[in-house]
């Protein structure tokens, strides 16, 4: 959880820093582009005048080609020290130009206007501007990448410094839960053993029955807390090929007795040959928790369904049971100690089962989602399959 918090802090900070740097560099590039376009337009306007009176002169190498269609003659005016033209080839190219439209070719900007006798064409050599703008773009990209790298290093080390107190508190909390749970196991085992001995002598004593039931509930809570503490402390797991189809069939078979006691039917539709790469114990725990949750909250006479399918190298494991959950309940369903149904405070559950299921799925890089539609509560586990020839 702390690592996720640190990643979110880095991502959000880098996102906003990136937007600011990108905006500044984009503004510089746009401003330079617009300035170049204004300079080109002014130079074109100067070269398209028969009498250069409005503009004092062109800031770029500019040329004027005037063609007289009556005499079928043309003349090229301009500073020929900058560019040596193949005048005949240039004339043929200009003949094909549409009127009053700019055209760029190899850094040369051309625009043609019609005259009473022929046409006049302005030519501006903007190759230097284009090269300078390309260099500006390359430099801006380089500055952006270097700046993002520098800021990432700074934000990363700053995030570690900011998160350090939270991490210490979180680690202390995890150690406390694990240590307290371990310390409670011994006296709880003694209480359970003594209560069982006393119940053998007086099995109808309500006080002893209540004591034994509460001790069993406490035992389940302690083991659940230890399980969550283990997940937090040991995020790395040992993965190996798992036959998910066979695993689901085995879990469904083992849950039939509990379902029978509740008068609940289990409908299985399990595709064969679905293999995954995961921790076998984790996967067994995940499927068993979700099926147990579905059976537990299904009214008598209703049906729980378990579906396993494979599509495009991904598996879809779905558990559904009759029921309804609001959007608010779905948003908190995987939180620790959260119970969606407030009327089930004394049903033997502490609201940790789905939290353990969520942590188990995360450890194995699977996605666990909850949904409610058409009067059904649906839990779906998805992930990559493992292509194995059996």
Same domain, 244 and 369: yes
- Cα separation, 277 vs 275, in Å, equals 7
Write down which residue in 74, 100, 125 finishes a domain: 125
Same domain, 249 and 376: yes
- pLDDT value at 245 more than 70: yes
Whether the model pTM is above 0.85: no
pLDDT score for 17:
92
The model's pLDDT over 141-170, given as tens digits with 9 standing for 90+, comes to 999 999 999 999 999 888 888 877 877 776
Q: What is the dihedral of CA 194, 196, 199, 203, to 10 degrees?
A: 170
Confidence of residue 23 (pLDDT cuts 50, 70, 90): very high
- Cα separation, 114 vs 2, in Å, equals 72
Q: Is residue 232 part of a domain?
A: no
Q: Is residue 286 part of a domain?
A: yes
Q: Is residue 84 part of a domain?
A: yes
Q: Is residue 331 part of a domain?
A: yes
Q: Is residue 147 part of a domain?
A: no
Provide the domain limits for residue 246. 240-384
pLDDT score for 80:
55
pLDDT score for 230:
64
Same domain, 252 and 116: no
Q: Is residue 115 part of a domain?
A: yes
Task: Domain count for the chain, please give it.
Answer: 2
- pLDDT value at 235 more than 60: no
Spatial contact of 271 and 234, defined as CB atoms under 8 Å apart: no
Q: Is residue 390 part of a domain?
A: no
Q: Which residue has the higher pLDDT, 123 or 5?
A: 123
The model's pLDDT over 100-156, given as tens digits with 9 standing for 90+, comes to 888 888 888 899 999 888 999 988 888 888 899 999 999 999 999 999 999 999 998
Q: Is residue 45 part of a domain?
A: no
Write down which residue in 69, 99, 125 finishes a domain: 125
User: Quick one: angle between helices 2-47 and 127-201, nearest 10?
Assistant: 160
- Cα separation, 43 vs 54, in Å, equals 12
Same domain, 121 and 244: no
Q: Which DSSP symbol is given to 255? A: T
- Cα separation, 102 vs 118, in Å, equals 18
- Cα separation, 350 vs 172, in Å, equals 23
Q: How far is residue 262 from each of residues 13, 294, 298, 304, 367, measured CA to CA in Å?
A: 52, 12, 9, 12, 30
- Domain with residue 254: its CATH number is 3.30.565.10
Confidence of residue 343 (pLDDT cuts 50, 70, 90): very low
| Neighbour count for residue 274 (Cβ, 10 Å) | 21
Same domain, 244 and 380: yes
Closest CA to 288 of 379, 364, 215: 379
Closest CA to 10 of 152, 178, 176, 182: 152
Q: Which DSSP symbol is given to 109? A: E
Write down which residue in 125, 146, 180 finishes a domain: 125
Tokens (6 digits) for 66: 């005037």
């Amino acid at each position: 959880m702390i690592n996720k918090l640190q990643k979110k802090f880095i991502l959000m900070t880098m996102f906003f820093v990136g937007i600011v740097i990108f905006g500044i560099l984009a503004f510089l590039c746009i401003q330079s582009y617009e300035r170049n376009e204004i300079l080109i337009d002014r130079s074109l306007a100067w070269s398209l005048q028969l009498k250069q009176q409005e503009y004092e002169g062109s800031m770029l190498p500019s040329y004027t080609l005037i063609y007289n269609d009556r005499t079928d003659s043309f003349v090229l005016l301009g500073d020929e020290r900058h560019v040596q033209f193949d005048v005949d080839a240039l004339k043929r190219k200009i003949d094909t130009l549409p009127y009053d439209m700019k055209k760029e070719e190899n850094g040369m900007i051309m625009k043609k206007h019609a005259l009473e006798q022929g046409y006049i064409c302005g030519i501006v050599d903007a190759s230097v501007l284009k090269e300078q703008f390309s260099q500006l773009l390359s430099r801006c990209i380089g500055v952006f990448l270097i700046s993002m790298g520098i800021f990432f290093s700074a934000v990363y080390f700053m995030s570690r410094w900011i998160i350090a107190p939270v991490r210490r508190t979180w680690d202390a909390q995890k150690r406390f839960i694990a240590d307290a749970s371990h310390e409670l196991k011994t006296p709880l085992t003694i209480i359970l053993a003594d209560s069982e001995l006393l119940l053998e002598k007086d099995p109808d004593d309500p006080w002893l029955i209540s004591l034994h039931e509460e001790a069993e509930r406490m035992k389940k809570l302690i083991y659940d807390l230890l399980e969550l503490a283990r997940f937090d402390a040991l995020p790395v797991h040992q993965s190996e090929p798992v036959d998910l189809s066979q695993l689901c069939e085995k879990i469904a078979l083992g849950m039939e007795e509990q379902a029978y006691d509740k008068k609940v039917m289990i409908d299985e539709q399990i595709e064969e040959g679905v293999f995954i790469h995961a921790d076998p114990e984790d996967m067994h725990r995940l499927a068993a928790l979700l099926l147990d949750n579905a059976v537990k909250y299904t009214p008598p006479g209703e049906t729980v369904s378990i579906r396993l399918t494979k599509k495009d190298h991904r598996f879809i494991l779905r558990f559904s049971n009759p029921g309804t959950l609001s959007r608010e309940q779905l948003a908190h369903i995987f939180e620790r100690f959260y119970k969606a149904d407030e009327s089930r405070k004394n049903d033997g559950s502490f609201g940790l089962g789905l939290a353990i299921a969520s942590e188990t799925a995360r450890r194995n890089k699977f996605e666990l989602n909850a949904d409610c539609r058409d009067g059904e509560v649906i839990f779906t586990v998805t992930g990559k399959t493992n292509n194995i020839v059996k």
